[in-house]
Structure formats: C-alpha cells, structure tokens
Structure 1
C-alpha cells in the first residue's frame, strides 16, 4: 500500500482505501458462501474431491496464467519457499482438505468452523511468529469464537451426519492452512492477480500429477451438468474470490479484512437452507452467532494488528 504522502499525491485517501477494501471484502463473503454450498453439492454427486479440484484449476489457470504471463509476472513469488506456502495455504492442498471435510458436515458447519476460525489462527501465527501481544478485545472475541466452535464440536450433531468430528477436524486444518496463506501474502506484498496466478497455476500442476495416479472416474456415471455447475462456481471462487481477497487484505490488512469474513457463516447457512434444504438447529444458530460476534470483536478497531516484516525479496504493506 502506498504511504500517506503518496496517497495524497495520487488523490487516494485512507477512507477511500477502507471503502474499496470493504467492498472487495463483501464480495469475498458472497463468493465464499456460494463456494461452500456449491462444493458441498459437488461432493454429494458422483464427483470426487480430486475431480472438483481438476475442474477448478483447469478453468482458473486457463484464465489467470496467460493473463499473468502477458503482464510479465514471474511464475513464482519472491522465492520457492514463499510459493510453496502460498500454494499449500490457498491452493490444491487446502481445497482437498476442505472438500474432503465437506463429506462429513453440513454447510452451516463448514462456514462457521473453517471460515470462522481463520482469524483465530491468523492471530495465533502473529503471536508465535512475530511476538505480537493480544489485546482485551481480541481475547474476548476469541473466547466467544472458541465457545461457538465448541458447540459444533461437542453438542451439535442434530443433522444426522455420521462422523461430523472428522469434518470439523479437517475444517480446522484448512483454516490453519489459509491463515498461513494470509500471513505470507501480507508479508510478501504480492499483488492480488499475481498471487491468484501463482496459486492456481501450481495447483493445476499438483492436481495433474495426483490425477495421473488415482485415475479418472467412471465417465458413464458422471452427470455433465454437475461438471458444468462446478466449473462456474469453482472458477468464480478461484479467480474472482482469490483476487478480491487479495485486494481486501492489501487495502485493509489481514486482521481488519477478517472481520468481513465473519459474515460468511450466516450467508452460507442461508444459502444452504434455500438451495440444499439444510435447516439449521437452534444450537447451530447459537454457535453461528457466537462465531460471528467473536470474529467481529477480535477484529474491531483497536485490536492489535500484526506488524508484518517482508520476507527476502518481498515488500511489506502497511496495515
């Protein structure tokens, strides 16, 4: 992000940056909610998680890789270590873990447990890696967040899905992976388009290698309508969603951008009820409220913001 003097020179004010970053963040909320529901639909069809991944990264790479190359962007981030962390955190490994978890838990749990816990893991990494101290609003917010997650983990099994705990464990792992991506993205100062191109391009390479080993599905049983639906939804998430998230983080900072993500559980639950008929229980609604309020409290103005230093070859962005 530009310095204050540069902002004045360029006619860009901090308020304008916040407004633009907020708009990008709200778009991310909508796309994430659609992605949760569409992927949940996908894993309940004849498509396997690896099939959904192949559709996602083929379509996304066809758009992003040529665009990035045309603009002269290198195929990696500042170095291979940062590239590997970005791809693992938001690329094929992340999607495989989260999509596998979606076999065991309903959409309302997906959004709350996975997306709701992302800011918690971002803060934990900031404390462990950068020795940041948590302030009172963060402590209170994370206490509410953990209380909501505890309801999902120990009390709410009313949806009748066997092995929900497996899904919850995988969602927490996916949230940790995404937190790593967020921290690395912020420290690198990587542009949103460049980051999306790197993540999707190398994810396609990984998926093709794995796909060659596991073999293709029985195409006689594949509904091509499902493939087409996943192509649209996954490309929207991989291209527009990742770009919008990068812009939101760049303009607002990792912690401030996370407060908008708190709206995703409610949005995803509403879409799941409309399109999947997944009616949330009273405990689920209570947990969603706790998670949402917890994230908003932890990310409110005045909470500690991670002071991120650049990695070798990267540029730090101001919060």
Structure 2
C-alpha cells in the first residue's frame, strides 16, 4: 500500500506537469527555460543529500548518476517538451506514460529474463490497444497528430523505462538518485544554456516564471523524482510503471479547465481501456521457478 501511495503522488504531480509544461512552451518561455528551471532549482535543493560530510558517494555512484541523468535528466525533458509543443497535453500524457510500462515489461523480459505472467502481458496489450484507440480518436477530432511529436514521445517512453529498470538494480537511494540527476543535468546543461543566450525570462511575466519554478524545480525535480523512485523500490519496476500509465486520465481531466482541451467521448472510452490495462499490468508477476535436485 505504501508503494501505491508513492505512485499515486507521482501520478498527481506528473499529470499536472504535462499541463504546466505545455502552458509554458506555448507562451513566452521555451523548452530551454523549462529545463533550466527544473534542474537548476532541483540541484540547489537536493545537492546537500550527496555532498555534505558523511554522505559522499563513490566514483561508481557518480558514474551511475551520470547515466541516470542522460536517461531521465535534460535529454528526457527536452524530448518530452518537444512532443508537448508539437502535440497536446492529452496526447503527450497518453503516449509517453502509457508506452513506458510496456517498454519496461518487454525490456525486463528480454534483457533481465524476468517473467511477466499472462495477466501482465494481456495488460500490456490492453494498454497498447487503448493508446491506439486514443490516438485515432484524437485524430478524428483534432486532426492527425504531428509525426515528429509522436516519435519524440515514444523515445521518451523508452528512456523512462530503461531508467526505471536500472534504478531498481541500483544501490542508490531515491534521494541520491534524484540529486545526482539534478546535479549532473545542471553541470552539463546550464553552461551551454548561458553561453548560447537561450534564456527568455525577460519576456515572461513574474507569475509565469514563479509557476514554472515551483512546479519544475520543486515538485518535479524534488518531490516527484523521489516519490517515483520510492514507488519503484517498493512495487518493482513493472508494477510501478503500470500505475504511472494512469497519467492520461489525470492529465486529460486537468487539461479541460486549464488548457481548454476537452477529450471527446471516444477519447474518454480509450482512457477507460488504458485504465483496465493498468489494473492487469500492475499485478504481481509470477515468482521465478528455481529447480531443485534431490539427492
């Protein structure tokens, strides 16, 4: 139950993130500003967890953190933000979080030899079917989605799934992983962001900057990273990622009052199908059989 509680908190924050990020990239701020706020503020808040006396990490841990930053740091945010700019909050929240558990299950089965069980495979199939219906229903109402935007979101889903599987096998704590992602992302990204003069903060209103700073820097880089890592630790990667697939429903509801993006009845039914797939895919996988030889 604790694992599902952490996953539910993550869903709440992530669903709002798709809405808030699309709100930002369709106004004065750009993708580059969103990434700078997210990881710059996150690094300031979380750096003490890995640099204070008595908590120094090994070189191997820093290397692992660099890999995590590549998978779920600035590159991930930039790819998702590109998908958000070219599609919509509902479409982006439907593709990336929905395909992520499917990728995680397939990767875990193919590379880690972790059995998934018939119900989980069926759940993955239902999730993928619901996603296909959702994209098709959205195209009938809003027009065909941008191909580059969809590809960007699919790539983001694969990156998210790989990070999830690697973190499950890591010895880093949820806070350490979140801190390393933010610190590495800031160290590698902010110099280029400053050198090339990518900032548009002078064009945005103080309220818009404050909203993005709070959501990107505090909630996403701090609370959501830690809560998601905690959910993965308690539930396992397959179950945790399956719960995250509930994001389309939450994000679609939030997009109605804040962005005026109302899903059609067909899109609503597709989301229901995805939720049913989540319920199946989040079930415990069968234990791996261990052969015993009698003497």
TM-score, normalising length from structure 1? 0.83
Match of 2:263 in 1: 280
Shift of 1:251: 1.6
Contact 2:39 2:185 in 1 (8 A): yes
Alignment match of 1:145 (pick from 127, 130, 141): 127
- Give the superposition deviation at 1:76: 6.6
Distance 2:151 2:214 in 1: 28
Structure 1 unaligned residues grouped into runs of 5+: 1-18, 308-319
- Post-superposition shift, 1:287? 2.3
Q: Provide the C-alpha distance between the structure 1 equivalents of 2:137 and 2:250, rounded to a whole number of angstroms.
A: 22
Query: In the alignment, does 2:194 pair up with 1:212?
Result: yes
What's the secondary structure of 2:169's corresponding residue?
helix
Corresponding residue to 1:264 among 247, 254, 257: 247
Structure with greater proportional helix content: 2
Aligned to 1:242: 225
Judge conservation of contact 1:157–1:164 (CA < 8 Å) in 2: no
Corresponding residue number in structure 2 for 1:10:
none
Residue 117 of structure 1 aligns to a residue in which SS? helix
Question: How far off its partner does 1:51 sit?
Answer: 0.7
Aligned length: 288
Assess, with a 3 A threshold, how the Cα gap between structure 1 residues 45 and 269 changes in structure 2: closer, same or farther. Answer: same
| Mapped contact 2:30–2:200 kept (Cα < 8 A) | no
Residues 139 and 145 of structure 2 are in contact (CA less than 8 Å); yes or no, is this contact kept in structure 1? Answer: no
1:286-301 aligned at under 5 Å gives the runs 286-301=269-284
Which aligned pairs between 1:75-154 and structure 2 lie closer than 5 A? 78-79=60-61, 81-154=63-136
- 8 Å CA contact retained: 1:142, 1:294: yes
Which stretches of structure 1, 4 residues or longer, exceed 6 Å deviation after superposition? none
The 3 A distance-change label for structure 1 pair 140 and 246 is same
1:21 and 2:25 equivalent? no
Does 2:3 correspond to 1:38?
A: no
- Contact 1:122–1:182 (CA under 8 A) maintained in structure 2: yes
- Contact conserved, 2:33 with 2:200, CA < 8 A, in 1? no
Cα distance between partner residues in 2 of 1:62 and 1:202? 12
TM normalised by structure 2 equals 0.89
Query: In 2, are the aligned partners of 1:144 and 1:291 still within 8 Å (CA)?
Result: yes
Match of 2:152 in 1: 170
Structure 1 distance, partners of 2:193, 2:147, is 28
1:244/1:146 CA distance change after superposition, 3 Å = same
Distance 2:63 2:114 in 1: 23
Displacement of 1:163 in angstroms is: 4.7
Q: Which runs of 5+ in 2 are unaligned?
A: 290-295
Alignment RMSD: 2.3
- Contact kept, 8 Å, 2:49 with 2:176, in 1: the verdict is no
Q: How far apart are the structure 2 equivalents of 1:233 and 1:159?
A: 30
Identify which range, 91-100 or 164-173, moves more after superposition. 164-173
